[in-house]
Amino acid sequence: MEYRMEHDSMGEIKVPASHCWGAQTQRSLENFNIGAETMPSEVIHAFVILKRAAAEANYRMKKLEEGRKNAIVEVCESILQGEYPEEFPLKVWQTGSGTQSNMNVNEVIAHIGNARYPGLGLHPNDHVNMSQSSNDTFPTAMNIAARLEIVKRLLPALDCMIAVCRQLEAENKDVIKIGRTHLQDAVPLRFSQEISGWRGMLEANRTMLTQSSKSLLSLAIGGTAVGTGLNCPEGFDEVCAEYISRLTGESFLPAENKFHALTSKDSFVFVHGALKALAANLMKIANDIRWLASGPRCGLGEIHIPENEPGSSIMPGKVNPTQCEAVTMIAAQVMGNDAAIGFAASQGNFELNVFMPVIAYNLLQSVRLLTDGINSFTKNCLSGLKANKEKMAYYLNRSLMMVTCLTPEIGYENAAAVAQKALRENITLKEAVLALGLLTEEEYEAKVRPEKMV
């Protein structure tokens, strides 16, 4: 491998000649060879948006000359278009401020700019990082990345799942089945009503995500090292946020209190709480579906779900609710991520939180997994769900809890006696009622009408 010599304030270091990063990136690669988790591409993308916006803001404020501004903007646009993905190799497990990833982006932009425009003298700190610090750029990039992923990827996936639930409600509005509480038989309901419960959960989660993710619109940029804005011209934060908003289509604003923005990550705890709530509801929905589909002959079997692949390497013909299993594993991972984020956010010491890379990594992983999981589940399971009307009717007619509708007529204790007799003697409710002489057959038939109980 061929190398070139790069230098930083600590001296010279060899860098692979085929790459565009500089000395600080190389030092991080050598000093933090930890794990396989690299800085999320969403964070890098957000960083590049920020660097482009900062160059525009610095030029408008007459701090950065036009040639260097144009070079930074041009290189940023190339990276945003998908070029140079191999130039951002740093691990999550690095400095807790994300300084090395900030410098990785700065060095790559400067190197490419200088290669395109020899003699430009573009410097990673003096020009690409002008008016900035890692301490305000990393939290800014975190916010941008999280907001964009939630709004542009997760919410559309959620909307699609909600739409499929609505379609299933319409298809099953006349289907009546037995309800269950405590895993035991309960009174009847329409299958469409059961599905509407799933939809209501998802709609509530959408509202939670929409509201909580607004806190990510407040950016730390302009706070520089400790929140005072040292080496940053007055008004830079507003101009930079304006350019970021133009580039993203989101209404980003500078944080009113930069000291809060640098040292606290409460917005990520808030947002991930909504992600955890979504995970909890997805766990419930997936579990409902796999229980209802259990069988095909020795389970509940009230619904059919798509048969996508063989389920066993030893049992021929077996098909499993694999999409449900994937979603429930995702939910477990998101709940674990929430614990890590909550603890990491509590570790803001004095003027800076130094657990930012792990917070960003876990939140973005949660968003990515939830988005992909919802898309897969909606396409490969939920959209193909069909009611087994015969099995639903069978359970409905055998349920002892249908006796509940007789309580106003014969009283709670008599109704309980009917249910107990029917269960004990393995007879129908009607047979038990008639045997106890509580109602005539005509009276029973008039009262026990499932369609009037839902």
- Same domain, residue pair 112 and 158: no
Give the model's pLDDT for residue 257. 98
Joined together, the tokens standing for residue 362 give: 């876990």
At 436 the pLDDT is 96
Say whether both 108 and 204 belong to one domain. no
Split into its structural domains, the chain has a count of 3
Asked if residue 140 and residue 119 are part of one domain, the reply reads: no
In a domain, 164, yes or no: yes
Task: Clarify whether residues 104 and 44 are in a common domain.
Answer: yes
- Rounded to whole angstroms, the Cα distance separating 148 from 44 reads 13
Strand ranges for 66-196 from DSSP E: 176-181, 184-190
> Are 216 and 349 members of one domain?
yes
Q: Is 135 exposed, middle or buried (0-12, 13-18, 19+ CB in 10 A)?
A: buried
* Rounded Cα–Cα distance for residues 235 and 222 (Å): 8
Q: Are 415 and 438 in contact (CB under 8 A)?
A: no
Pair 149, 122 in one domain: no
Q: Which pTM value belongs to this model?
A: 0.97
Same-domain pairing of 355 and 245:
yes
End-of-domain residue from the set 81, 107, 130: 130
Distance, in Å, from the CA atom of 146 to the CA atom of 354, rounded to the nearest integer, reads 18
pLDDT of residue 289: 98
Domain edge (last residue) among 82, 113, 130: 130
| One domain for residues 433 and 365 | no
258: tokens are 């930069």
Q: Looking at the structure, tell me whether residues 430 and 372 fall in a common domain.
A: no
Q: Note down the domain range covering 372.
A: 136-168+190-389
**Total count of residues recorded for the chain:** 454
Residue 185 resides in a domain: no
pLDDT at 23: 98
Give the catalytic positions in this structure.
182, 312
Beta bridge partners of 348: 353
| CATH classification of the domain holding 156 | 1.20.200.10
Res 278: pLDDT: 99
Burial string for 290-318 (b: 16+ CB within 10 Å, else e) reads bbbbeeeeeebbbbbbbeeeeeeeeeeee
Give the angle 370-374-379 at the CA atoms, nearest 5°: 155
pLDDT per residue, tens digit, the chain (454 aa), is 999 999 999 999 999 999 999 999 999 999 999 999 999 999 999 999 999 999 999 999 999 999 999 999 999 999 999 999 999 999 999 999 999 999 999 999 999 999 999 999 999 999 999 999 999 999 999 999 999 999 999 999 999 999 999 999 999 999 999 999 999 999 999 999 999 999 999 999 999 999 999 999 999 999 999 999 999 999 999 999 999 999 999 999 999 999 999 999 999 999 999 999 999 999 999 999 999 999 999 999 999 999 999 999 999 999 999 999 999 999 999 999 999 999 999 999 999 999 999 999 999 999 999 999 999 999 999 999 999 999 999 999 999 999 999 999 999 999 999 999 999 999 999 999 999 999 999 999 999 999 999 9
175 domain residue, yes or no: no
